[in-house]
Amino acid sequence: MLRFNTINDTRQQLHAWRIAGERIVFVATMGNLHQGHLRLVEHARQHGDRVVVSIFVNPMQFNDKDDFAAYPNTLAQDEAKLKAVGIDMLFLPSVEMVYPGGHQQNSEVIVPGLSDILCGACRPGHFVGVATVVAKFFNIVQADVAVFGEKDFQQLMVIRRMVNELCFPVEIIGVPTERESDGLAMSSRNGYLSVEERQQAPLLYKVLVQAKLQLENGDESIAEIEAQAQQTLQATGFRPEYFSVRSVQDLVLAEASTQDLVIVAAAWLGKARLIDNIRLNLG
Ligand code: PAF
């Protein structure tokens, strides 16, 4: 596994692979890697010859300084995991390398509308930070394919729209959420849960599954189902930010006639902000 800290070294190696006709697949991460990330690498491997992974905790996407400062750094373990799964290159730029003039002064990539709802409404500026750093990394790596997890469903949609609208020559692949045996979506933030909260946490997914069944049964309105889910979460110690049935195409509010749906949820449990989603088609 090659390991580079600078944009120039990274580009030189990628150029050599590209002229040798090799297909490059990119996986962007913020480190603190778990099985979900390793699954992304596995998918990446199926789509090309060289797998490039970045680890960069992006200050521009944190609307809360303390959240950024507390973000776990597990670099030694992350490197060991990536070596074990056999990636080709680890790109580890510093904040100064990515944002030479500081991230507040950096040019921004804005995906309007989609960035301002749901997680974007709860974390103002978050998706501008995500789109900007992902655009930078796409320009540095110039991968043929980039792989992202579906747990961050809105993020995946923001990136897909950015790629379409700004004509980035990269194919985006979404990978289904990796779950613990009790259903909890794997996330770096699960590490913030206490032992008791960890036992409680899978309820978020159970409530999503229950809402999906209710929508499929068709006996209750979307508003009733959303309200019941929020109540269940509140009654069991979660602090829901949203629980919402949306159109899978554009994340606008679903209507009774919308068939291709995604139910998206974000809720705090203690110090952890958990997000999850489930898709369904009523066609
Ligand atoms: O999903 C993440 O870990 C981050 O948002 C990403 C895509 C690596 C951008 O910093």
Q: Which regions in the chain score pLDDT beneath 50?
A: none
Ligand 1 pocket, 230 CB below 6 A? no
Ligand 1 pocket, 134 CB below 6 A? yes
Sheet of 171-175, strands arranged across: 2-4, 89-91, 50-55, 24-29, 145-149, 171-175
Which of 37, 43, 103, 126 is flagged as catalytic? 37
pLDDT at 84: 98
Quote the tokens at residue 11: 């580009």
Q: Which numbered atom of ligand 1 lies nearest the CA of 57?
A: 10
Q: Is 37 tagged catalytic? A: yes
Choosing from 33, 54, 58 the residue with most ligand 1 atoms within 8 A of its CB, the one to mutate for a pocket test is: 58
Ligand 1 pocket, 146 CB below 6 A? no
pLDDT at 156: 98
pLDDT at 133: 98
Ligand 1 pocket, 52 CB below 6 A? no
Q: Which numbered atom of ligand 1 lies nearest the CA of 29?
A: 8
Q: Are 115 and 131 in contact (CB under 8 A)?
A: yes
Ligand 1 pocket, 92 CB below 6 A? no
Q: Render pLDDT for 55-71 as a digit per residue (tens, 0 to 9).
A: 999 999 999 999 999 99
Ligand 1 pocket, 130 CB below 6 A? yes
Q: Render pLDDT for 166-220 as a digit per residue (tens, 0 to 9).
A: 999 999 999 999 999 999 999 999 999 999 999 999 999 999 999 999 999 999 9
Residue 175 CA to ligand 1 centre (angstroms): 14
- Taken in order of first residue, the domains within the chain and their CATH numbers are 2-175 (3.40.50.620), 188-281 (3.30.1300.10)
Ligand 1 pocket, 152 CB below 6 A? yes
End-to-end alpha carbon distance in the chain = 46
Between CA 189 and CA 195, with CA 191 as vertex, the angle to 5 degrees is 130
CA distances to 134, 138, 142, 214 from 57, in Å? 12, 16, 20, 39
Q: Are 44 and 26 in contact (CB under 8 A)?
A: yes
Cβ of 108: how many Cβ atoms within 10 Å?
A: 12
Nearest protein CA to atom 5 of ligand 1, as residue: 130
Choosing from 52, 133, 175, 188 the residue with most ligand 1 atoms within 8 A of its CB, the one to mutate for a pocket test is: 133
